[in-house]
């Protein structure tokens, strides 16, 4: 039976290496469900698979797009489903791994048909936000979609701006496009979540940030500094260093913030994933003997 094995979990838990081990055992390639590893050059800051890991197993959706290119969860859904049709002619089980919640849900459950946002519209709204703040954008959203205006976190500029983008692009309220209808897939889906004891996970995150700095994250971020306004670079690891480059804080403060925001993101991921009762969880803080076979036994 054709099966999609989804290996997910919070940032820093060890998904990359464990997914490669499972894929090697199954003879499968890997589909990356990471909304930032998809961009070229952001290797250190997104903890993308290294050259040795990429040689071990073929990866898709890693180092694929330029940071200037817009790519939505809906587009990810379409491209992955097309790719799976091809891959299933070679293998019955394909591995998908990552921590981007919307990307995973898009493939496993389907996502509403949201229009692709025109780059000029996105740029115009970002310019308005930079010049006048979030208030004029909130007012437009309230006028065009009072239903979603009452639901959205008005203190979250990213969500407010995104909702207004869709209203203006679609010519109808964002709320009217959100059906949340689960789509049927012509393959079996098995979801396995990796986790660790909280203290161990947080320590791994802190150590990984230190390793990123040692590996050249500051230089990588400087290369993207002229593009810091792009949504793709509104990412933990880069935005904190951009703040340091702007002279708003010290380097040590920026590094501490990267660690803090990475831990916060891990909590957010776990909260999201725990709502999904179909996920089989493995705590990697316990014995790791037999983990690969435990996963394969679920297929």
Instruction: Express each pLDDT in 15-39 by its tens digit.
Output: 999 999 999 999 999 999 999 999 9
Which residues of the chain are in CATH 3.40.50.300 domains? 3-112+181-296
Euclidean distance between CA atoms 200 and 261, whole angstroms: 17
Instruction: Express each pLDDT in 101-126 by its tens digit.
Output: 989 999 999 877 677 777 788 889 99
Tokens at residue 285, please? 């803080």
Asked if 126 and 137 touch (Cβ cutoff 8 Å), the reply is: no
Euclidean distance between CA atoms 196 and 89, whole angstroms: 35
% pLDDT > 90, the chain: 81
- Measured at the alpha carbon of residue 234, what is the angle toward residues 16 and 76, in degrees to the nearest 5? 55
Which residues of the chain are in CATH 1.10.20.140 domains? 119-177
Residue 179 pLDDT: 65
CATH topology of domain 3-112+181-296: Rossmann fold (3.40.50)
Q: What is the mean pLDDT of the chain?
A: 94
% pLDDT > 70, the chain: 99
Instruction: Express each pLDDT in 33-51 by its tens digit.
Output: 999 999 999 999 999 999 9
Instruction: Express each pLDDT in 147-190 by its tens digit.
Output: 989 988 888 888 899 899 999 988 989 888 876 678 899 999 99
What is the secondary structure of 38-91 as a DSSP string? TBTT-TTTTT---HHHHHHS-EESSS-B-TTS---HHHHHHHHHHHHHHHTTT-
Euclidean distance between CA atoms 27 and 91, whole angstroms: 8
Q: Which CATH class is domain 119-177?
A: mainly alpha
Asked if 232 and 51 touch (Cβ cutoff 8 Å), the reply is: no
Euclidean distance between CA atoms 138 and 154, whole angstroms: 7
pLDDT over 90 (residue 74): no
């Amino acid at each position: 039976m054709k099966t999609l094995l989804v290996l997910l979990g919070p940032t820093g838990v060890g998904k990359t290496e464990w997914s490669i081990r499972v894929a090697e055992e199954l003879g499968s390639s890997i589909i990356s469900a990471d909304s930032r590893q998809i961009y070229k050059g952001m290797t250190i800051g997104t903890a993308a698979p290294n050259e040795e890991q990429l040689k071990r197993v073929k990866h898709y959706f890693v180092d694929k797009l330029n940071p200037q290119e817009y790519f939505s969860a809906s587009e990810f859904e379409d491209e992955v489903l097309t790719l799976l049709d091809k891959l299933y002619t070679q293998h019955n089980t394909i591995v998908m791994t990552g921590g981007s919640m919307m990307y995973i849900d898009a493939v496993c459950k389907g996502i509403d048909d949201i229009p692709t946002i025109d780059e000029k519209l996105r740029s115009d709204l970002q310019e308005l936000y930079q010049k006048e703040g979030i208030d004029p954008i909130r007012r437009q959203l309230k006028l065009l979609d009072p239903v979603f205006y009452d639901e959205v976190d008005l203190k979250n500029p990213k969500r407010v701006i995104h909702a207004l983008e869709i209203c203006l692009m679609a010519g109808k309220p964002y709320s009217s496009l959100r059906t949340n209808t689960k789509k049927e897939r012509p393959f079996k889906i098995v979801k396995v979540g990796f986790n660790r004891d909280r203290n161990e996970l947080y320590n791994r995150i802190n150590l990984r940030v230190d390793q990123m700095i040692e590996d050249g994250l500051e230089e990588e971020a400087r290369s993207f500094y002229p593009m810091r306004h792009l949504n793709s670079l509104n990412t933990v690891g880069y935005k904190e260093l951009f703040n340091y480059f702007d002279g708003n804080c010290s380097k040590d403060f920026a590094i501490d913030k990267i660690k803090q925001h990475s831990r916060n993101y891990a909590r957010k991921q776990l909260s999201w994933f725990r709502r999904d009762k179909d996920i089989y969880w493995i705590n990697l803080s316990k014995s790791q003997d037999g983990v690969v076979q435990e996963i394969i036994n679920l297929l």
